[in-house]
Amino acid sequence: MRLRRARRRTGGTGDEGVLPLINVVFLLLVFFMVAGRLTSADPFDIRPTRSTLEGPAPEDEPIVQVAADGRMALDGQPMQADALVDAVAARIAEGGVPKLRIKADAGTDTLALVALLTRLRAAGAAEARLMVEPGAE
């Protein structure tokens, strides 16, 4: 008798057994929505550079991505160095902010990066900030 009642109670649609699952999934969903930051994916693999210096968090400036082998992208669009410098100059000429974020792979050749920085500076980007991840390597 007791068995039959229990089966009838959950047997209708099976919904009661799923409710705790939905609760957990909702909680996970809310957690990921609140805690995660939606970011556009990089066009190539970039290992973050680590630094122990506590700089400010990045803002929404245009981002220049540099891979370890020298490939570059502006806001996720892969392009050659010349085109990239031209694009940055054009944006700043149109009234864009003269600031850049640089996201470079930890293995990038520093001199190549400095050369790019110098060209970007000449193109009008007054301030360039390197994106790093806190913590010692």
Q: How far is the CB of 96 from another protein (least distance, A)?
A: 18
CA-atom Rg of the chain in angstroms: 25
Element (DSSP H or E) covering residue 72: strand 72-74
Whose CA is closest to 59, among 101, 17, 23, 87?
Answer: 101
Contact 89, 126 (CB under 8 A): no
| 125 makes contact with another protein (CB under 8 A) | no
> In Å, how far from its chain's centre is CA 32?
15
Per-residue contact flags (x/-) with another protein for residues 14 to 53, judged by CB under 8 A: -x--x--xx--xx-xx--xx-xxxxx--------xxxxxx
Q: Considering only residues 75-114, where is the footprint of another protein by CB under 8 A?
A: 101-102, 104-111, 113-114
Quick one: 1 or 95, whose CB is closer to another protein?
1
One-letter amino acid for residue 47 of the chain: R
What is the contact surface with another protein in residues (CB under 8 A)? 2, 9, 12-13, 15, 18, 21-22, 25-26, 28-29, 32-33, 35-39, 48-58, 101-102, 104-111, 113-115, 117-118, 121, 127-134, 137
